[in-house]
Amino acid sequence: MLKNLSCQLKFAFFPCQENNFRPLALQRQFLIYYVLLFLALKMVIFPFYLLFPKTSFFAEVISSTLIELTNQERQSSGLSPLKESLVLNQAALAKAKDMIENDYFNHTSPSGITPWYWFKQKGYAYRAAGENLAIGFLDSAEVEKAWTESPSHRQNLLNSNFKEIGIAVLTGNFQGKETTIVVQFFGNPIAKPVVARLTKPPKPISTPKPILSPEPIISIVETPVNILAESEVLIEPEAPIETLNPEPLTEAKGEFNLPVEVFSFGSNKYDQITSQAITVFLLFLIGALIFNFLVNLIEGIKRPELVLDAAFFILLLFISNLVDKQLIISLIPHNLTI
């Protein structure tokens, strides 16, 4: 059985007399199948890009991805990663809702409400705070790229004063169009004042001698962190640090949700995994075609079509790496503001 299997594999993949020095796997009909499979794998991602921003799953997916990308950027610059704060997430969401409801995109609302109001509303006392905003983006990597290329936003991303992060992503009607707003808050929380609780001294047991009470119990409670959009930072010796950009540009793990997981995988992981798999396969195929051409050449068989096939798949490899996720997203019409 093993001998029969090895013969079949040899017939299918290795040039020999049995297959007339043209393996079955490299014949034209199979090469066409490979191309069709390649196109199918690439095209299946388009529905995710077109539907993803319009679904309620968008915010849940992009917020965690943005936090991951932000921490990657910080760690590559030698900074400690930021811890996700649920309070900052709530503050950022409140700010995002306010912008959608009042139809504005700025650090300060038309009524004069600053980003720091949302921190205080959620009970987040801070030593330092910052905000980054973005609107109209379709992908988390696209948002992060825009922020890192903006000096003021990048300053917030790489600010060593910040310890926590919160993000909200909200899709709604903004100035007559369905769009997505991203609010990113940074913070460094202040611990609440120490509260000392003295225990009552125990009653004397047998002697009238007074008994001293034990050491007071001290409890320290840290205030949770809130999220803000845009980038702005202000550092003072005694006052809180608040940082904003001159121009405006997670969450608790819930129960397993299949639609969310599918959209998350399709939008964030699928393209990366398939691109790597396609690249490896195309490299293998190109190598096999060149090897077969050389074997045929040694056997005195002229097979110029093998060279053409190899050249075609080299071109396909180039196109595969050129047409990546970011290029596809850039082809989808959308206005970007940070």
- Residue 133: closest CA among 164, 104, 172, 101: 104
Q: What is the pLDDT of residues 77-99, one digit of tens each?
A: 999 999 999 999 999 999 999 99
Q: What is the structure's pLDDT at 217?
A: 29
- Residue 236: closest CA among 161, 154, 156, 133: 161
Confidence of residue 245 (pLDDT cuts 50, 70, 90): low
Q: What is the pLDDT of residues 194-227, one digit of tens each?
A: 444 545 555 554 444 433 333 332 222 233 333 3
Q: What is the pLDDT of residues 10-34, one digit of tens each?
A: 777 788 887 888 888 888 888 888 8
Confidence of residue 235 (pLDDT cuts 50, 70, 90): very low
Range 51-56 average pLDDT: 51
104 versus 178: the higher-pLDDT residue is 104
Q: What is the structure's pLDDT at 180?
A: 87
Range 162-171 average pLDDT: 93
Range 172-187 average pLDDT: 90
**Contact 156/243 with Cβ under 8 angstroms?**
yes
> What's the rounded Cα separation, in Å, for the pair 74 and 52?
27
- Residue 227: closest CA among 2, 74, 110, 59: 59
The full length of the chain comes to 338
Dihedral sign, Cα of residue 111, residue 114, residue 115, residue 121: negative
Confidence of residue 109 (pLDDT cuts 50, 70, 90): very high
> What's the rounded Cα separation, in Å, for the pair 334 and 143?
13
Torsions phi, psi of 133, nearest 5?
-125, 150
Q: How many CB atoms lie within 10 A of CB 209?
A: 7
**Contact 302/296 with Cβ under 8 angstroms?**
yes
